[in-house]
Amino acid sequence: MICVAAAAALVSLSACSANPSANPTASPSAATPSPTAKPSGWTDTLSGITVTGAYLKEPKVAFKSPFVIDQTRTQVLKQGTGATVSASGFVAVQYYGVDGRDGKMFDQSYGTATPAEFPLQGVIAGFQKGLTGQKVGSRVLIAMPGSDAYDSSGGSGDGTILVGDTLVFVVDIVNTWTGAQGKTVTPPAGLPTVTDNGTSTPTVTIPKTAAPTAMVAQTLIEGDGPKVTSSSTLITHYVGYSWNTGQVIDDHWSTLDQAALNSSLPGFQTGLVGKTERSRVLLVLPPKDGFPEGSKNPPVTKGDTVVYVVDILMAA
C-alpha cells in the first residue's frame, strides 16, 4: 500500500504459536501414514469423531486417541446457506482445535468477542482445503494430517503439536469476502467515476476539470467490519490513476498488499482512518497528500494529483 516497509507476513489468527495462520508450507513427513505402515489410530473416515453443541457455541469434541487421519477430510455438521468461501477469499470464523495424538484442545476462539479473521491464502493447507467451497452459516468438521498442518515447521514450536500429529477442528463460518462488501454509497458529483468490473481491476474515469486542491476520501462501499485506526495494519487491493493523464499508474488489484498504515502515503494515513473493514474508498490526493516531488515508481510527474480506489480487505 505505497509503504516504506511492508510487513513480511500475513496477520496472525492469534498469539498462540499453534494456530491455523502460522502458514507452514505443507511437505511430506516420515510420520505421515502410508499404505504399508499404518500407525496406531490410523483411519480414513471421520465417523469416530463426535461433536456436540450449537452453531457459534463452543463445541465438545470426542474421539478415541490417538487419532490419525489419512488425508484432510471434511464433514459439514450444519449446512449454511450464505456465500461460498473462495480459495482466494477471506473468512471470519469461530474455531476449536484438538490434537489427535492426545485428544486435548490446543487452541480455540470461542472465548473472544469477535470471530477470527484471516485470508485463506495465509493459513495451513488443511484449513484451506477444509473451508474452500463451504458456505457461510455452516459448522464444519475438519481433520488434517501433519503434512497439511505443522510438520514442515517441525511442529508448533512450543511443543504443543508434534510432527505427525493429526489436527481436528470444528469451524463455524461467520462471513466470507473477496473484496469490498456492504452498502453502496453514491458519491457527490464532480469526483472521478469508478466502474466495478467484478473481480478484476475497477476502471476509473477522471473528469475533464481541474484537479481539486483539497484531498477527498469518499466511501463507495461501506463495509461492516472494524474501523481503521492510525496504528492499523491493512490488507488491501488498490489501483492508482494519474489525474493529468487519466491512465493507470499503480495496479495492485490482483495481489494482496499488506502494510502498516503509518508507513503509507500521507493521504492514505489521513483518508483511511475511520473507514471500516470491507469498505471501498476513493482517494483523490493532491501532491502534498500523495507525491509532493513526483515519483519514479509509481510514475508520477511532480505536481500531479493521484486517484486511488482501495478495497480494505482486513484491518488489524
pLDDT tens readout for residues 135-173: 999 999 999 999 999 999 999 989 999 999 999 999 999
Q: Percent of the chain having pLDDT more than 70?
A: 89
Of 4-8, 101-105, 114-118, 302-306, the range with the lowest mean pLDDT is 4-8
At residue 199, the pLDDT reads 86
pLDDT tens readout for residues 186-222: 999 999 999 999 989 999 999 999 999 999 999 999 9
Helix (H) or strand (E) segment spanning residue 266: helix 266-272
pLDDT tens readout for residues 175-188: 999 999 999 999 99
Rounded Cα gap, residues 157 and 153, in angstroms: 8
Q: What global pTM score does this model have?
A: 0.82
At residue 113, the pLDDT reads 83
pLDDT tens readout for residues 106-117: 999 998 888 999
What's the residue count for the chain?
316
Indicate the Cα dihedral angle 147, 150, 154, 160, nearest 10°: -130
Domains along the chain?
A: 20-177 (3.10.50.40), 183-315 (3.10.50.40)
Which residue type is seen at 240? G
The C-alpha cell 489436527 sits at 167
At residue 36, the pLDDT reads 60
Q: Percent of the chain having pLDDT more than 90?
A: 83
At residue 23, the pLDDT reads 36
Give the residue-averaged pLDDT of 288-302: 97
Residues 6 or more apart in contact with residue 216 via CB below 8 angstroms: 191, 271, 282, 283, 284
Give the residue-averaged pLDDT of 113-132: 94
Helix (H) or strand (E) segment spanning residue 126: helix 125-131
Q: Sorting pLDDT into bands at 50, 70 and 90, what band is 306? A: very high
Contact 43, 69 (CB under 8 A): yes
* Mean pLDDT across the chain: 89
Rounded Cα gap, residues 68 and 166, in angstroms: 5
Above 70 in pLDDT, residue 21?
no
Above 60 in pLDDT, residue 272?
yes
Contact 104, 134 (CB under 8 A): no
Rounded Cα gap, residues 130 and 43, in angstroms: 17
